[in-house]
Amino acid sequence: MVRELYRKLNFSDFGDERGKLVVAEGELDIPFAIQRVFYIYGSDDSVIRGQHANRNSEFVLINVAGSSKVMLTDGKNKETVTLSRPMEGLYIPKMIWKEMYDFSPDSVLLVLASTHYDEGEYIRDYEQYTSMM
């Protein structure tokens, strides 16, 4: 059985002459209740963020401006996804190693999390991670 590394989510995009509005609701469009929100900006194409897996947290990543890439692996399978549309999200399940990189100068990467921050659930050593999988 192949583990799900990610799932693409498409959000409703409403707009008229006044502009665009994208809606993403927890437990409806987002497959969990949202407990934490943060965003990454001011990074450039030389920066690598993430570089960890989470024991308990699920995430949805949305590039609300600009673009970035996300490398995902379970230690066996590896995929890279480009995020560049504000109406598209990337769902990442628990225990998936993630690295965000290649940020455009205008990138704002919004992250929705299923848990509050807990440093103890982070696995930051890739060798330790692969030995657990």
Active-site residues: which are they? 52
Of 95, 49, 56, whose CA–CA distance to 71 is shortest?
Answer: 49
Residues 36, 76 contacting (CB under 8 angstroms): no
Which residues have C-beta within 8 Å of that of residue 4, sequence separation ≥ 6? 93
Span between the terminal Cα atoms of the chain, in Å: 13
The Cα–Cα gap between 60 and 32 comes to: 9
Residue 129, CB-side half-sphere exposure with 13 Å CA sphere: 21
The Cα–Cα gap between 128 and 133 comes to: 9
